[in-house]
Chain A
């Protein structure tokens, strides 16, 4: 009775999993084994693993996703921490979300205006006597904009795990003579691990297939798997190859999930 009840609530979710996740993935896998005329072939996978271009692209994607996630985490954790200590924390959180509601392409164009040779940032740099610099099409500008886009997705889960963190634990740690640094690293950070992990998933995974920013801001200096998929689906219309890369991305994601899976938590929950 008890189980049935919970299950009935989750029916829409499982329906969604079946119709919008598993079915498309099956379609994708089937397509990845098709050549241009739709016949069965293993060539797409062979091309992928034998071509230096795709492997380098994969490496690039993982490498940049890694850095972007790192930068985002470094900026977001203190931000989330400070915000969670403020009086009207939820209000500040909404202020973090608000910029994400403005269209991405529009924001990218604003960044072009800010970073260009004659843009606002360079004018400022010239004013303080250190500019102008070439900012556009550098790895730096790409990383800044990518991190900019992802920051809210990182702040939010971390903030959520910090906001209701029991003050009693912190007080207890303090009472036991822990310094604020110790309290942070030994008490607060471990307790917010769930949020950090969710944040990493929400940032790292989508960043793997980022493509628009790589072209718009990076000038195609950085080429990720997202670019290749985009081209195979839209330009060459070689859906087979595009699907192959898609399948590889999904496998890579599964692997990431497997490696960062919760091992401790299970023990903790069942130990109770």
Chain B
């Protein structure tokens, strides 16, 4: 009985994963196309990969994209984490709701609005448009998703946990670092990854706030769309995808290794609950 439901759940899992990866594999498949377009596979070729590496401009843009994504996601995660803690600690329910609504404003605003208003804001302040303004903008629009990912974890946390730690003589810092953060860690991590997603995907905001000599992959892809999607972009995406896959697998091995240490803590939490 249990086995059967397990089988079904595995089938479901595999099915959803196939759906999620179908377009990705489609993209990767056509990056090997001898022809120039994402249809009518006419033969295998490395041509688009060679083109891609020969295009130093594209490679430079790629590096820029990663710098912006990693840096902005990191800072957004840190700011968002403490923001979420602030909202969590707000005692008044009304204030809390207002804060949350404010937090979500950037999520509901279409990119053009965000981009245009950031552009006006940056030029008003006199900030030089370029790398700095792009990173700043990416941090700004990634913060809400981090808060949204971290906050539910905090809310779920049993307050008895914190109280118990206090009773045992833990100070604020210890409560934060030993109890709250480990508990919220999955939320923090997914906030970080979602921030990377937002940053990598953004076109409109980056377009508006970027200056001379600085561009990201999304801006390049969208501007090239008038001429049709170049398969060297496919090749690039395929490479990026494989690279991130490798990183994920490395992460998996590392976390597998380090999770042995955290088992103990989990045990401690159980005790508190009972």
Q: Which residues of A contact B (CB under 8 A)?
A: 2, 5-7, 9-10, 12-14, 16-17, 19-25, 27-28, 75, 78-79, 82-83, 85, 88, 90-107, 109-111, 113-114, 116, 118, 120, 148, 151-153, 156-157, 159-161, 163-164, 166, 168, 191, 194-195, 197-198, 201-202, 205-206, 208-209, 211, 226, 229-230, 233-234, 239, 242-243, 246, 249-250, 252-254, 257-258, 261-262, 265-266, 269, 272
Contacts and interface: CB of A to CB of B under 8 A. Distances in A.
A13 B143 contact: yes
Interface stretch (B14-22, B44-52, B53-61): B14-22
Contact of A157 (B100, B148, B189): B148
Interface in B1-51: 9-10, 12-13, 16-17, 19-24, 26-27, 30, 38-39
Contact of B13 (A10, A83, A195, A252): A83
Contact of A253 (B101, B118, B222): B101
B104 A257 contact: yes
What's the dominant secondary structure at chain B's contact region? helix
A16 B152 contact: no
B206 interface: no
A253 B241 CA distance: 34
A229 B234 contact: no
A272 to B, nearest CB: 5
Interface range for B: 35 or more
What's the dominant secondary structure at chain A's contact region? helix
11 contacts: A24-B121, A28-B113, A99-B21, A100-B197, A101-B244, A106-B234, A156-B149, A156-B194, A157-B148, A246-B109, A272-B160
Given A97-B193, A103-B201, A103-B237, A114 B26 contact: yes
Contacts of A233: 112-113, 116
B85 interface: yes
Nearest to A120: B26
B86 A6 contact: yes
Contacts, number: 266
A17 B83 CA distance: 10
A179 to B, nearest CB: 12
Given A10-B85, A21-B105, A103-B218, A110 B113 contact: no
A202 B183 CA distance: 21
B22 A79 contact: no
B113 A246 contact: yes
For A24, A113, A243, A253, the residue with the greatest tally of chain B CB atoms inside 10 Å of its CB is: A24
A105 B248 contact: no
B86 A14 contact: yes
A47 to B, nearest CB: 18
Contacts of A226: 110
A217 to B, nearest CB: 11
A105 B148 contact: no
A226 B197 CA distance: 20
Contacts of A261: 93, 97
Contacts of B179: none
Interface string B82-121: 1101100100010001011111111111101110111011
B273 interface: yes
B229 interface: yes
A-B pairs with the 6 shortest C-beta distances? A13-B83, A10-B86, A110-B23, A194-B152, A24-B117, A20-B140
Given A16-B139, A24-B114, 4 more contacts: A6-B85, A9-B86, A16-B83, A97-B197
B219 to A, nearest CB: 11
B229 A109 contact: yes
Contacts of B20: 96, 99, 148, 151
B270 A166 contact: yes
B82 A107 contact: no
Contacts of A93: 190
A12 B136 CA distance: 13
A257 B39 contact: no
Nearest to A169: B273
Given A98-B244, A101-B240, A194-B156, A10 B26 contact: no
B189 to A, nearest CB: 8
Given A9-B82, A157-B149, A239-B116, A110 B108 contact: no
Interface string B148-161: 11011101100110
A94 B186 CA distance: 11
A257 B24 contact: no
A123 to B, nearest CB: 12
Nearest to A111: B23
Given A88-B256, A109-B229, A272-B159, A98 B245 contact: yes
Contacts of B117: 24, 27-28
Contacts of A97: 190, 193-194, 197
Nearest to B196: A101
Nearest to B26: A110
Nearest to A163: B186
